[in-house]
Amino acid sequence: MVNASITGIGTALPPEYTQEWLWDNAFRRHFNGSRIARRMFESAGVERRHSATAPYEFADVAAWSTEARMRRYADRAPALGLRAVREALADAGVGAEEIGLLAVASCTGYGTPGTDIELAAALPLRSDARRLLVGHMGCHAALPALGAVSDYVAAHDRPAVLLCLELTSLHLQPGSTDIDQAVTHALFSDAAAAVVLRPGEGLPGLRVVDVAARTDTAKNAYMTWRVTDLGFKMGLSPQVPDALAEHVGPLVKDLLGRHGLDPSEVRSWAVHPGGPRVVDAIEEGLGLDPTALDVPRRVLAEHGNCSSATVLLVLRELMDRGLPPGPLVALAFGPGLTLYAVLMEVTA
């Protein structure tokens, strides 16, 4: 049994824009006034989102090379990540010098030396602190990363930090009539979110109990994140929600069954809100009460889909509202087609 608990959480968000403002002032031109694209923006379930790229730059960024986008990531990402990590450390009451491992998950920017080294210098971390980069896994990366960090904490009896940092705005694609790209650009947003995990039993917070995964390789084309000469391009099949609804029930029942639990005993659900149809599909696949996923829907509305950082934003919102003691299940989904679930126990 893992003895590692999330005892601190921090977030950092770039400037906020309303969905309506972004359509009127940036994306209307980008999609040449397409009525279908506008409907995608109106039905995305997003009211506000964040962008480290100023909207007046969107037309320029869409024409940038991947190299130029990576330079911008290197310029903007470290400061945003530092804010989130410092807030998480303060929330946990842990000093940077105590951290044994810093893990950074991102699918939107790379470079070596990268954000992990910038943070190691700025915090600063001890010279013997380990670093781990979880790269290009997509929206579900926070949960396998959480599993790896939890294992480190339990094995080495030292605190660790997981940072999920995504600047999806750097991957705007050139203007087109591609409806798939309209869906993507209507949903995705920028954010950084960090958690601190500490070793030991009886700590107040979220104890990580177990991790489970399920991958349907026959559906690996349903969700893609391809590196192109013009940034990274998302492919998102309309069949994704149905595929998730098919697999999420068996995944969760297997995870809970290993601990003698039933889905009806789960007190809280931290679900990655990939889009409104995804949230509906998870609700259907698990047979949940219509209010069980109110927080994920609210996070989608307030922040958009921030890729790997989103499920940590959901956790933050749940914690801020006050979690009831008992089991909590976190769920996230990504290319593969892959589903990850983490069982946690809320401890007072």
Residues recognised as catalytic: 139
User: Nearest-5° angle of CA 39, CA 186, CA 138?
Assistant: 140
DSSP string of 306-325? -GGGHHHHHHHHHHHH-PPS
* Region for 333 from its dihedrals, namely left if φ exceeds 0, alpha if ψ lies in -120 to 50, beta otherwise: beta
Dihedral over Cα of 37, 284, 268, 224: its sign: negative
DSSP string of 230-246? TEEEEEE-TTHHHHHHH
Long-range contacts of 286-291 (CB under 8 A, 24+ apart): 286/248, 286/249, 286/252, 287/249, 287/263, 288/263
* Distance of alpha carbon 182 from alpha carbon 36, whole angstroms: 8
* Distance of alpha carbon 329 from alpha carbon 308, whole angstroms: 16
* Distance of alpha carbon 130 from alpha carbon 109, whole angstroms: 20
* Distance of alpha carbon 326 from alpha carbon 278, whole angstroms: 25
The answer to whether residues 6 and 345 touch, using CB atoms and an 8 Å cutoff, is: no
Under DSSP, the state recorded for 35 is: H
Helix (H) / strand (E) element for 88: namely: helix 66-92
Kindly state the tokens that stand for 246: 């098919």
Residue whose C-alpha is closest to residue 222's, from 100, 338, 324: 338
The answer to whether residues 94 and 194 touch, using CB atoms and an 8 Å cutoff, is: no
* Distance of alpha carbon 207 from alpha carbon 344, whole angstroms: 5
Q: Could you count the other beta carbons within 10 Å of the beta carbon of residue 128?
A: 6
